[in-house]
Amino acid sequence: MTKRIPVDDLTPFAHRPFARLAGASAPAPVSTPVAASRADPVKTAPAWAVVRLERKGRGGKEVTVVEKLDLRASELDRWAKSLKQDLGCGGVVEKRTIVLQGDQRGRAVTWLEARGVRKVTRG
């Protein structure tokens, strides 16, 4: 025979980790864009980037290609990771370009401008 735990009386559970937070107020929300709040501080952002849609050689699947970012390989990897997280899509770094799954052109341009890229060209 199994023992049953009473669910209507919470007194057997002495440890309540969030009991002190019941009266605490939530912090005020910050009105900064998600891309700007997660942005890693970079000394100088690239001056130029090209964002284009590509289907050729990819089995008919659409990908967004971000190229001409003059960044070191480690910084390019960090930018790609942050870009994928903020846009909620998959992607990879191929050679010196960031390849994102799907048509992300508009969102990628906005993200790049928020990161400080001065000129973003749609190719």
Q: Where does residue 62 fall: left (phi above 0), alpha (psi -120 to 50 degrees), or beta otherwise?
A: beta
Confidence of residue 25 (pLDDT cuts 50, 70, 90): low
Q: Which pLDDT belongs to residue 46? A: 81
Statement: the pTM of the whole predicted model exceeds 0.95? no
Confidence of residue 38 (pLDDT cuts 50, 70, 90): low
Q: Which pLDDT belongs to residue 6? A: 64
Which position has the higher pLDDT, 11 or 109?
A: 109
Selection from 106, 46, 35, 48 nearest residue 76 by Cα: 46
Q: What would the two tokens of residue 60 be?
A: 């008919």
**Domain boundaries, given as residue ranges, for the chain:** 46-122
Spatial strand order of the sheet with 119-122 comes to 91-94, 97-101, 63-67, 48-54, 119-122
Q: Which pLDDT belongs to residue 4? A: 75
Q: Which pLDDT belongs to residue 29? A: 58
Q: How far apart are CA 117 and CA 56, in angstroms?
A: 27
Which position has the higher pLDDT, 37 or 56?
A: 56
Query: According to CATH, what is the number of the domain 46-122?
Result: 3.30.780.10
Selection from 62, 58, 49 nearest residue 112 by Cα: 49
Q: Which pLDDT belongs to residue 109? A: 93
* pLDDT at 23 exceeding the cut of 70: no
Within the chain, what is the greatest distance between any pair of CA atoms? 72
Quick count: other Cβ atoms within 10 Å of Cβ 38?
Answer: 14
* pLDDT at 66 exceeding the cut of 80: yes
> How many CA atoms, within 13 angstroms, populate the side-chain half-sphere of residue 89?
19
Q: Which pLDDT belongs to residue 30? A: 55
